[in-house]
Amino acid sequence: MMAQGTQQTWWDSPKFTIDCVLANVSKQLEADGCVLECLEGGHKLTTPDHLRAGDFVKVQLWLEGEEAFIDIRLAEVRKVHDHWITVEVIQVSPNDRMRLKRFIDAPATMHIEKPALIDHLLIRA
């Protein structure tokens, strides 16, 4: 394994994108998806074990029945365990945040006692 030559800074575009679909809304948002490594010629499918806590990623979160994904431009990987990745949302447009909130607050998910934390995502990749 080669060491990274340059230290990644928060304003650089993240090296990894997680493309996922919102699967479950409980105490936190759960999504199913895949990890894509950003290369010069496009994207390459990779595995969660390439991610480390503290890495910055982009997340494309698809909502059932919606045409466009929620574009989470910057998220920080908090934990990687087996096929599960926990990320904390850092940067998402106010419009996308409202769309996500509306989706979560829809009548179908009203049986939840506490509102889901929209700043944390658990992704199975």
pLDDT in tens, 13-41: 799 999 999 998 877 899 999 999 998 88
**Separation of alpha carbons 110 and 47, rounded Å:** 34
**In the structure, what pLDDT confidence band is assigned to residue 112 with cuts at 50, 70 and 90?**
low
Rounded to two decimals, what is the model's pTM? 0.82
Phi/psi at 32 (nearest 5 deg)?
-110, 135
Query: What are the residue boundaries of the structural domains of the chain, listed by start?
Result: 16-124
**In the structure, what pLDDT confidence band is assigned to residue 105 with cuts at 50, 70 and 90?**
confident
pLDDT of residue 125: 94
For residue 118 the two structure tokens come to 């929209």
pLDDT (tens digit per residue) in 71-95: 999 999 999 998 999 999 999 999 9
pLDDT of residue 24: 87
Give the H/E segment covering residue 46.
strand 42-46
